[in-house]
Amino acid sequence: MTSKQSNRCGAKHKHRLMTVKMILEEESDRTHRFSVKQLLDRLGLPHTEANQRAVRSDIKTLQDFGIAITREKHRTFEYYISSRRFRQNELKMLIDIVQSSRSIDEQTSRDLVESILALGSHSESQSLKAEIRLGRRPKTKNNQVFRNIEVIQGALAASPRHKVSFEYLDIGFDLEKKSRYRETKTETPILLTHINDCYYMVSFSEERDKVIARRLDRMEQVLDTCVDGAVSAKINAFDLEDFECTQFGMFLGISKWITLQVKERKMMNPLYDHFGDRLKGHVAVNPDGETARVRVKVIDSPQFRGWIAGMDGKIEVVERQPAAAQ
């Protein structure tokens, strides 16, 4: 065999191997299996013994490289992908998160959903597509959120971290975007976080000498200034877990210790949902055994007071103290 013929045979083998891999990964699952003859039909190859041996060898090669291909005996031996990186219920959860996120614009949401669907088999994807409800929830109109994330992550990864500049927007009475400030802002990013269904850049403002939360979908013209970030004790002292637990909405302010009167045992559920194990050591059960006083540290914002009002009188604020008071 000449070198040219050998190369041609090698190319055909690679093409056959990769096509078998693609068919099984995209279309097979426990209820959609392929026999060797069906694979040969898809490949457009005759059902010769040599071709059958070649396809079986391809499947063995794929298995040797860690692809979970299972062989089952029915009328003949049939093959399918038995284990994927994500199960169908996990793909469903990822799609639901993308669909519900207000911080991802409509087109990006559609692109992400298509990418998630490609992680499952064809039949799984078709089943999941029937439940997609894009376009039914409010979405940001800012299609730069992912780019903003990339720029800010780059600034955070620099050593030392860099400042970022940006224009910050508000929605006016005419529902159009307007710049909140006369000038472009420059701040030192501390981290990116996802709270209350929105992405935020938590940053330090030297101008205001405080930590600020900026919604990424309200930021435009985001640039890495390549200038070293600010050095501040407030950056070093920032605690994300404490920040998230004290927040109701993203209004920043002074933390307070709030003592709550919990009038029904079941109202501990929403408290635990928000504060989690931080409630340990701060729950004092009343003598009746059915009510309690609970001490929590929060930003005493309008959102927090609204949250309490939504408890229909079953949780009440009975005392407020500065957070420094222990």
pLDDT < 50 positions in the chain: 325-326
The domain over range 3-81 is classified in CATH as 2.10.25: no
CA 126 to chain centre: 23
For helices 49-64 and 36-43, give the axis angle rounded to 10 degrees.
Answer: 100
Give the pLDDT of residue 229: 95
Token pair 């710049």 in the structure block, residue: 179
What would the two tokens of residue 125 be?
A: 């994807």
Q: What does the pLDDT look like over 163-181, one tens digit per residue?
A: 999 999 887 667 677 888 8
Where in the chain are the domains?
3-81, 88-129, 145-238, 246-322
The pTM for the full model equals: 0.56
Which pLDDT value is given to residue 66?
87
Q: What is the pLDDT of residue 324?
A: 63
Question: What are the helix (H) ranges across the chain?
Answer: 3-27, 36-43, 49-64, 88-100, 106-117, 122-129, 145-157, 233-236, 240-246, 268-275, 302-309
The one-character DSSP state at 139 is -
pLDDT (tens digit per residue) in 171-218: 766 767 788 888 999 999 999 888 767 788 999 999 999 888 898 888
Tell me if 3-81 shares its fold with 246-322: no
Tell me the three state secondary structure of residue 252. Answer: coil
Query: What per-residue confidence (pLDDT) applies to 142?
Result: 65
pLDDT of residue 82: 82
Please say whether the structural domain 246-322 has been given the CATH code 3.30.70: yes
Q: How far apart are CA 57 and CA 63, in angstroms?
A: 10
Residue that the structure tokens 């307070």 belong to: 256
Nearest-angstrom CA–CA distance, 53 and 103: 52
